[in-house]
């Protein structure tokens, strides 16, 4: 199926926001980077915030689909998939143009927890937590929800550390800690 003009706009805007941030990206920059006129943009989105929400929905879908697929490709069983999450992250960190997590950026630029952009960012993290919790349940972890929260703290810390670039391999550091946590929480 051929992408619509709206789909193309959202994809191009995603790249622009990811590279420059949300507040630093004005409508003039979006027009320049996307090649779409302000009139066309406003035809599809009433406000810049509406466009940001569409961008976050697209990024959420792409990121979760990619991460879950990579975890399944890297490991066959749930316990190993939990650990493989960190190998997938390492691949992401090594991509040219890696600039951290779009949802962390969005929630830091829109800090009011009731703002729709902040709420959408939090929803992304909750969906990841649900998936990791389900894997932990399948892996017969004694406290699957607790382990999921701990693994996601490691994931988020690795993402920020990779973005800051002050350690050699944050994904593998987080993976080592994840292996210890999983071993300590593995049920019989």
Arithmetic mean of pLDDT, 145-167: 96
Give 187's pLDDT tier (boundaries 50, 70, 90).
Answer: low
Tell me what pLDDT residue 4 has. Answer: 82
pLDDT of residue 97: 92
**Residues recorded for the chain:** 188
* Domain coordinates in residue numbering, the chain: 5-185
Question: Fold for domain 5-185?
Answer: Tetracycline Repressor; domain 2 (1.10.357)
Q: pTM of the prediction?
A: 0.92
Of 127 and 165, more confident? 127
Residue 93 has pLDDT above 80, yes or no: yes
pLDDT given for residue 188 in this prediction: 47
Given a cut of 80, is residue 113 above it in pLDDT?
yes
Number of neighbouring beta carbons within 10 Å of residue 14:
19
Backbone angles phi, psi at 138, to 5 degrees: -65, -30
pLDDT over 90 (residue 180) = yes
CA distance 178 to 184: 10
Q: Report how far apart the first and last C-alpha atoms of the chain are (Å, whole number).
A: 48
- For residues 80 and 8, the model is more confident at 80
- Mutual angle of helices 102-109 and 5-20, in 10-degree steps: 80
Per-residue confidence (pLDDT) for residue 166, from 0 to 100: 84
What would the mean pLDDT of 35-41 be, rounded to a whole number? 88
Average model confidence (pLDDT) across the chain: 94
56-68 residue pLDDT tens:
999 999 999 999 9
DSSP β-bridge partners for residue 83: none
């Amino acid at each position: 199926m051929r992408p619509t003009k709206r789909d193309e706009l959202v994809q191009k805007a995603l790249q622009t926001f990811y590279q420059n941030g949300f507040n630093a990206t004005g409508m003039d920059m979006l027009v320049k980077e996307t090649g779409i006129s302000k009139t066309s943009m406003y035809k599809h989105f009433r406000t810049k915030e509406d466009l940001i929400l569409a961008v976050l929905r697209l990024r959420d879908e792409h990121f979760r689909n990619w991460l879950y697929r990579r975890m399944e490709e890297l490991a066959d069983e749930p316990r190993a998939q939990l650990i493989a999450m960190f190998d997938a992250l390492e691949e992401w960190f090594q991509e040219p143009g890696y600039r951290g997590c779009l949802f962390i950026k969005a929630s830091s630029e829109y800090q009011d927890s009731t703002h729709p952009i902040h709420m959408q960012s939090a929803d992304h993290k909750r969906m990841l937590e649900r998936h990791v919790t389900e894997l932990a349940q399948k892996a017969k972890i004694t406290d699957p929800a607790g382990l999921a929260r701990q693994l996601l703290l490691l994931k988020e810390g690795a993402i920020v550390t990779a973005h800051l670039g002050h350690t050699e391999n944050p994904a593998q550091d987080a993976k080592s800690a994840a292996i210890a946590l999983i071993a300590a929480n593995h049920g019989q």
